[in-house]
Structure 1
Amino acid sequence: MASVSVSRIVPAPPDRVWQLIGGFGSLPDWLPYITSSSLGEGGRRRTLGNPEGDTIVERLVAFNDQERQYSYVIVEAPFPVSDYISTLRVHAVAGDSAASEVQWSGRFVPTNASEDEAVALFSGIYDDGLEALRTAFS
């Protein structure tokens, strides 16, 4: 099983950052790779669209508003992985109430790609997304 973890310091308080990214259907509000999101199954399943016209279906498996984190699995996607689970978290930064650390991590089994290729794919998505988020709050 391969894993990826990317984090970024965002110049905004944790509650403000979580307000933007904490909704399971909110990816199009901050992640450039995702252009659309629709929720189903009482908000526990999201169907995402990207600029290439691909569909990605994910299911929420854990949500903790107080701890500002959620985890999800991929149900269907054009990615060369299986057994994908990911967590998005917002942490307070010690000594700086005006900043947050956002961490996006995932574990998966590469299929039809090398581990390096699969890790690079998700590292790029996470890194680009968190950089866009940081920029949005700058």
Structure 2
Amino acid sequence: MATTSVSVRIPVPPDRVWKLIGGFGSLPDWLPYIPGSELGEGGRVRSLTDKEGGVIVERLEAFDDEARTYSYSILSAPFPVTAYLSTLTVHEDSGPGASRVEWSGTFTPDGVDEAEAVGLFRGIYSDGLAALQSVFAG
């Protein structure tokens, strides 16, 4: 089992960040490489469309609005991993009105070595959180 985690500080209150990213279908609102998200199964499954038209299907595994966190697994995707579980959390950061957003994942590499799989998801998380920072920079 491999794991990786990326976090970023955003100088806005955690509730404001969570309002944007806390919905399971909200990725297109802040993640430019995912322009489409359709919810199914009562909002527990999302079908994401990437810029190239590829589809990623994920299941919501846990959601805690009060703690500002949710976890999801991948049902189908073109990634070289199995047993994928990821968590997105908005923490209160030190200092008034600041947040720390953490995106982490655990998975088993499938057909690639651990370093390659970790690098893939570290890149996805880093790029995503950089995009999130830019939403609040303006």
Do the two structures share a fold, i.e. TM-score over 0.5? yes
Query: In structure 2, what is the Cα distance between the partners aligned to 1:65 and 1:97?
Result: 21
Q: Is the 8 A contact 1:5 1:123 kept in 2?
A: yes
In the superposition, the TM-score normalised over structure 1's length comes to 0.97
Q: What aligned pairs does 1:39-118 form with structure 2 within 5 A after superposition?
A: 39-94=39-94, 96-118=95-117
Identity across matched positions, percent: 62
CA RMSD in angstroms comes to: 0.7
Secondary structure at 1:75 match in 2? strand
> CA shift at 1:98, angstroms?
1.8
Task: Give the corresponding residue for 2:37.
Answer: 37
C-alpha displacement at 1:32, in angstroms? 1.9
Question: What is the DSSP-based 3-state SS (H/G/I as helix, E as strand, rest coil) of the residue aligned with 1:98?
Answer: coil
Determine the C-alpha separation between the residues in 1 that align with 2:29 and 2:17: 12
CA distance in 2, matches of 1:32, 1:121: 17
Q: Is the 8 A contact 1:33 1:125 kept in 2?
A: no
Contact preservation (8 Å) 1:2, 1:115: yes
How many residues are matched? 137
Query: What is the CA–CA distance in structure 2 between the aligned matches of 1:135 and 1:118, rounded to whole Å?
Result: 26
Residues 1:129 and 2:128 are matched in the alignment: yes
2:125 is paired with a residue of what secondary structure? helix
Runs of 4+ residues deviating >4 angstroms = none
Please give the alpha-carbon distance, in whole angstroms, between the structure 2 residues aligned to 1:90 and 1:97: 15
1:82-132 deviation line (CA, Å, top 9, x unaligned) = 0000000000012x2321000000000000111111111100000000011
Q: Which amino acid aligns with 1:36?
A: G
Instruction: Give TM-score scaled by structure 2 length.
Output: 0.97
Task: Check whether the contact 1:7–1:101 (CA below 8 A) recurs between aligned residues.
Answer: yes
In structure 1, the gaps of 5 or more residues are none
Amino acid at match of 1:3: T
Q: SS in structure 2 opposite 1:53?
A: coil
The answer for unaligned runs of 5 or more in structure 2 is: none
